[in-house]
Amino acid sequence: MRADLSGSILDNAILVEGNLRGAKLMRTHLKGANLNGALFGGADLSGAQLNDSYLISAELTETDLDGAELSGANLYMANLKDADLRDAQLKGSHFSSANLENVNFEPLSLPEVTGISGAGHLELLTYRRNPDGLARLRKQFQENGFRNQEREITHALNRRAAELAGPIERWFKRIAFEWTCQYGMNPGRALSIWSVLLLICWAIYAFFIHLNGESGIYRIQKRGARIDGEQTEEQIRPHQIFVTSLWPYLLRLLHRELSVAYWAGFFSLMSAFNIGFREIDFGRWLRMLPRTEYDLKARGWARTVAGLQSLISVYLIALWVLTYFGRPFDQ
């Protein structure tokens, strides 16, 4: 049977590591109480008076704190996963190292910026009806120079907005913004994905070079110095090895595969930077590195892969620039 202490006056009580799971504590007075390590999982603390109470390492998972008075409360390392802080008073409360995963954050007043900046899982805060609490918290972080925490709250706001959107918009945002940069919280992820894509396409182009058929990479080079001179086109293929002795064969095989890796890697780089930004054209700059003037083109399925790589790469680079230097996801 769940304990029912609703309306009780327990100010300054000592309930260290007490087991109050699922208890009914509506409008209970617990001002200044020592509740360190107490277990409140699933308890109803709506309207409870917890001013200046100690809730260090307390378990408050799925706890209803709707309208609770938590001003000055110490929730260091408390676990508030799935808790409800709707209409709660949080002025002067401390959430350092507290777990705020999936907490419904719609309080009437906010804690001091230093009292919540060290909390865990700020990016997973949520709201049910009103995003105002999270928006005010983000502004507070922004005004006080807490850039990382500001990005985490931006992620929380956009994540929840996507959950409330229709299925098409929700999945578009998840793929385009959540998976790529977490709505600006992790701008470096876009570059990491870009690098992985570069390596994957490198391997694919090396495969096409080994594959028989027209699909592959072609080297196009001009004859002579004239601008309108004749062009030669040669498909890049691994050269044949005619020796039969083991060590010479292995050395020539290594040389051949390094040559294939060079052409595949160089073409992967060119494809990754194929679309420039006005005067900034990295692809053209890469073409100026070789001692002789030539161009690389793809045909068949290799061309399809190169096109997709170019489109995805320019998007990832643009997204990294926007999220690293700006705030494109601020609502």
Per-residue pLDDT of the chain (331 residues; tens, 9 = 90+): 467 777 788 888 888 888 889 889 899 999 999 999 999 999 999 999 999 999 999 999 999 999 999 999 999 999 999 999 999 999 999 999 999 999 999 999 999 999 999 999 999 999 999 999 999 999 999 999 999 999 999 999 999 999 999 999 999 999 999 999 999 999 999 999 999 999 999 999 999 999 888 888 888 876 554 455 567 778 888 888 777 788 887 888 888 889 899 889 988 988 888 765 555 555 555 555 565 566 788 888 999 999 999 999 989 998 999 999 988 998 6
Tell me the domain boundaries of the chain.
Answer: 121-181, 189-320
Residues in the chain: 331
For 166, counting Cβ atoms within 10 Å of its Cβ (0-12 exposed, 13-18 middle, 19+ buried), the class is: exposed
d(CA 9, CA 100): 28
pTM: 0.83
Contact at 8 Å (CB) between 14 and 38? no
DSSP for 203-266?
HHHHHHHHS-SS-EEEEEEESSS-TT--EEEEE--PPP----SHHHHHHHHHHHHHHHHHHHHH
d(CA 212, CA 140): 61
**Pair of tokens at residue 155:** 């992620």
For 32, counting Cβ atoms within 10 Å of its Cβ (0-12 exposed, 13-18 middle, 19+ buried), the class is: middle
d(CA 294, CA 284): 11
DSSP for 169-183?
HHHHHIIIIIHHHTT
266: left (phi over 0), alpha (psi -120 to 50) or beta: alpha
Tell me the one-letter amino acid at 57: S
Considering only CA atoms, which of 94, 91, 90 is closest in space to residue 78? 94
d(CA 286, CA 9): 75
The 3-state DSSP class for residue 305 equals: helix
Considering only CA atoms, which of 31, 18, 67, 61 is closest in space to residue 43? 61
d(CA 185, CA 166): 23
Q: CB 179: neighbour CB atoms within 10 A?
A: 12
Strand ranges (E), the chain: 216-222, 231-235, 294-299
